[in-house]
Homo-oligomer: A and B are copies of this chain.
């Protein structure tokens, strides 16, 4: 009986590595189309059949990355917030480019998601993407690490956290947008957004904002803060509190674009004009921010780059290559809403 053809045979005939053969047979875009087609032709000629299950068991790889989405407590029960959705899109795309499937699973922070991947061979590694209080799941991350599960976390570096993190510099983003506003001559400020430890992203943005004000001696009498979770409604409601007070600040700094959209909505119902009477800035650069009236000045977290970094870093970890934390710079996007008072 003739021996069954192996991927080694194909690699030999094609003059490429076995991993290139594997990628080509998985139709990975990492192999250029011509080479892919040539390898696929050789495989057909040899009557080669991939035994997917066996091959996955052998290499203990599922060619799948799991994305655990932790419930965004700020979203309503039916929609994903635009920043999350954008990340979901870019991670999906980055996985496709790398030849991986993506297993998306919503989780509650309290659940036993850290045990879920212990015995199963569902995914080669995990991306953790979530809002909220990261400290609540520190012990679970430690368990993941102990059991040798590869994972990458979306968020800022935190020395109390095991594992690798990819994040965007929320402190710098908050500081830069505030410095820009101060440079435009604005003197009095309000900040809308939860600025507490249970919302670490917002808190970092707020600290950057606060430090910029401090540096220019503008903090003491000239600043107010209103709580709001990241929704248009919460921004709208916080604006009502602000509008009920005696004096309008020169500028309202919002912890997210969704909050800023709610603020713009509230201001449209008054005689105050944006940015002439009051400037407004957001954070996230969600797609609609460019189309708001006036167009929102905001801070961009590059979700496309973030998705690519999360996926490529995780794949490196899966392949036992060295990986490290990375904090992407935040990018100020100046549009019309910040004015030039």
State A52–B113 Cα separation when bound (angstroms).
Answer: 13
- Among the listed B78, B106, B287, B304, which residue makes an inter-chain contact with A82, where contact means beta carbons less than 8 Å apart? B287
Query: Taking the full assembly, how many copies of this chain does it contain?
Result: 2
State A92–B291 Cα separation when bound (angstroms).
Answer: 27
A6 within 8 A of B: no
**Is B108 a contact of A27 with CB atoms below 8 Å?**
yes
Report chain B residues within 8 Å CB of A103: 64, 101-104
State A78–B305 Cα separation when bound (angstroms).
Answer: 10
How distant is A40 from chain B, measured CB to nearest CB, in Å? 9
Q: Which A residues, 192 to 228, have Cβ-Cβ distances below 8 Å to chain B?
A: none
Known: A101-B104, A106-B96. Contact between A27 and B89, CB under 8 A?
no
State A93–B78 Cα separation when bound (angstroms).
Answer: 7
State A103–B264 Cα separation when bound (angstroms).
Answer: 38
Taken residue by residue from 286 to 303, chain A's Cβ proximity to chain B (1 for < 8 Å, 0 otherwise) reads as 011011110000000000
Chain B: CB-nearest residue to A82: B287
Chain A: how many interface residues by the 8 Å CB criterion?
37
Residue with the highest number of chain B CB atoms closer than 10 Å, among A64, A78, A86, A120: A78
State A96–B293 Cα separation when bound (angstroms).
Answer: 35
Known: A79-B304, A291-B291, A293-B293. Contact between A106 and B119, CB under 8 A?
no
Report chain B residues within 8 Å CB of A52: 116, 119-120
Chain B: CB-nearest residue to A66: B101
A160 within 8 A of B: no
How distant is A71 from chain B, measured CB to nearest CB, in Å? 9
**Is A92 a contact of B120 with CB atoms below 8 Å?**
no
A47 within 8 A of B: no
Given contacts A85-B86, A95-B104, list 6 more A-B pairs with CB under 8 A: A53-B119, A78-B93, A80-B93, A103-B103, A291-B291, A291-B292
List residues of chain A with CB under 8 Å of any chain B CB. 27, 52-53, 64, 69, 78-80, 82, 85-86, 88-89, 92-93, 95-96, 101-106, 108, 111, 116, 119-122, 287-288, 290-293, 304
Identify the 5 closest CB pairs spanning chains A and B, nearest first: A291-B291, A96-B106, A101-B105, A102-B104, A80-B89
